[in-house]
Amino acid sequence: MKNQSLEILKLFVDTSKDGRYVIIDFKDFFDLELDTKLSKSELEVLAKDLEVNGYIEIKFINEDSICAKPTKLGFGAIEGYNRKAVESTETLLENPKNQQAKNIKTIKIFVVAFLGSLMGGALILILYLLIKFLTNK
């Protein structure tokens, strides 16, 4: 689901906690922090797309507002999205040492690989010089 659709769905879920129809003015949609500002017609298209995919049920759309309610699928999508966000935040907050350990491990792997490539290059150079020296005799 696109970020814009997710934010619109989140607005419906937040305003309709009990699953009833809510009327949301287009002004409220314009106040959302989206990557790009949407026009009224684009908001209608996104709302209808959410309805087609089963996330909301639209009762009506007029010039000023949209009346709709989120479905169980819509509530579940937002709940799952929030749960993933909370889990990833908790993981970062609880385990900063693990993140630091991963960074140190990555640096160690890089150093070992770099030194190995230098040693391999030196070995090839020695073999090349040895063969050149033996064939010139």
Domain boundaries, the chain: 3-81, 95-135
- Domain covering 3-81: architecture: Orthogonal Bundle (1.10)
Q: Where are the beta strands (DSSP E) in the chain?
A: 22-25, 56-61, 65-70
25 contacts 36 by C-beta, under 8 angstroms: no
Give the pLDDT confidence of 75-120 residue by residue, as tens digits: 888 888 767 765 665 555 556 666 677 788 889 999 999 999 999 9
For 29, counting Cβ atoms within 10 Å of its Cβ (0-12 exposed, 13-18 middle, 19+ buried), the class is buried
What average pLDDT does this structure show over 35-39? Answer: 75
Has this prediction a pTM greater than 0.75?
no
Share of the chain above pLDDT 90, in %: 31
